[in-house]
Structure 1
Amino acid sequence: MKITTSPTRLKSLILVAGLAGLTACAPGANLQFYKEAGSVLNRGNFGNSNMNNHLIQTGQLDYAVNLANRFEAEVPSTINFGFNEATLDAEARRVLTQQANWIRQFPEIQFRVYGHTDLVGGDAYNRRLGLRRAQAVVNFFVAQGISRSRLEAVSSLGESQPLVQTQDRERRNRRTVTGVSGFVQSNPAVLNGKYAQIVWREYLTSAEPARVVERADAEGQGG
């Protein structure tokens, strides 16, 4: 008995046989054709945001550390001073304005300002001088509208952490360094369902022009 096949049916059979042969012969063949629609899009990353929040809430990830790294990456953290001075020059005020604009975006975070000196002079005197420099920075931030309760001026590390090892005058050693120190007491867990608010607030703030408040340095001339 002779069996006849229409040209359309013959093409279909050839196509199916070809696909079956490719699937059987090709190692690592893509089998997504046989899976549910959309499964190829899920690479296992959909839960990362929830995982990050979980790690923060359980103490396995320190959000303050992440913010500290971000602060270091996005704004200059250091300013410099003239010899035996604690006054802020124009360049220092420019950098501190950038720092203040960044700090205002995160009212849940506390900041610490460390004062440093070069190696010229006695250690006790340099500690007092470094503290005056840190206090000058804190006063500038307060004048920019940042709450003093979120700021801390730390007694100078003096001669213990110079950037440049020299007994001579060195401007790079005469500096303050601003950094994240932790959370405001009333906001110990900033990601407790509120991180989206912070992101939105930061987005809106980024569109505002930078504020610059000129004022006389409350510390006056350094000793």
Structure 2
Amino acid sequence: MGPMRNWMMCLGLAGTLSACGIEAGYQVDSGTFGNATLNNTQMMNGERSYTQVLADRFAREIPTQINFAFDSAELDATAQQVLTLQADWIRQFPEVRFRVYGHTDAVGSSGYNKSLGMRRARAVVSFFASRGISRSRLEAVVSYGETQPLVPTGERERRNRRTVTQVSGFVDGNQNLLDGKYAQVVYREYIKSAEPKTTVEIDTSSSAFEQ
């Protein structure tokens, strides 16, 4: 097949795609191509808040929840491993506040479960504080108790006994810090990128999740 025929076939294919309403080269975009530019544009025109950008990133990069034994607010080894990862991430952004939400399963009274959920959230905040994170950046003021189960059941369910850590906003006086400086703040991650990092392995075996 000659070069001229190949060229003609390419033109024909491009025309076919155009006629079908499909832009030539569409398969190159796997869904993330151009997202950085899109996000920057949305942030500049106010369509995306800086808080939401960091919240999305935190949830994408770090496990955001831990689980608890029945009727307990103690942090087991697996929970502490996850919270260590969260603390390492949180320390990168001293301008940002975080909120810890406590949850329980449906066993027990509503009042008791609300108190238990709060104790779990406060246990997480105390863990973060022990890792050098200022309590002024941490909130444990909301406990959903049993009202937002991941698994709808009235029985004991470990997946419902959890805390969830989320980005909640900026420390007072720093709400506008990232206005035009988001790239600079994020770039801090790369300053220490050459330093050796300790790998934390999370035990996901069934024995680690026994009640």
Give me the identity figure in percent.
60
Structure number with bigger Rg: 1
- 1:203 aligned residue (183, 190, 206): 190
1:183 pairs with 2:156:
no
Q: Secondary structure at the match of 2:132?
A: coil
1:130 pairs with 2:120:
no
Residue 8 of structure 1 corresponds to none
2:63 alignment partner AA: P
- 1:82 aligned residue (47, 69, 92): 69
User: For structure 1, which runs of at least 5 residues remain unmatched after alignment?
Assistant: 1-21, 28-44, 213-223
Residue 87 of structure 2 corresponds to 100
Any idea what the Cα deviations from partners look like across 1:133-167, whole Å, max 9, x if unmatched? 00000011111111111110133201110111111
Distance 1:176 1:73 in 2: 17
Residue 203 of structure 2 corresponds to none
TM-align CA RMSD: 2.9
Distance 2:87 2:158 in 1: 23
Residue 115 of structure 1 corresponds to 102
1:155 pairs with 2:169:
no
Distance 2:66 2:121 in 1: 10
- Contact 1:120 1:169 (C-alpha < 8 Å) held by counterparts: yes
Q: Secondary structure at the match of 2:156?
A: coil
User: For structure 2, which runs of at least 5 residues remain unmatched after alignment?
Assistant: 1-6, 13-32, 201-211
Q: Secondary structure at the match of 2:143?
A: strand
Structure 1 window deviating more from structure 2 (57-66 vs 73-82): it is: 57-66
Residues 12-51 of structure 1: pairs in structure 2 closer than 5 A: 49=37
> How many pairs does the alignment contain?
173
Q: Secondary structure at the match of 1:187?
A: coil
Deviation at 1:206, TM superposition (A): 4.2
| Structure 1 residues 77 and 207, CA gap change in structure 2 (3 angstroms) | farther
TM-score under structure 1 length normalisation:
0.68
Residues 138-153 of structure 1: pairs in structure 2 closer than 5 A: 138-153=125-140
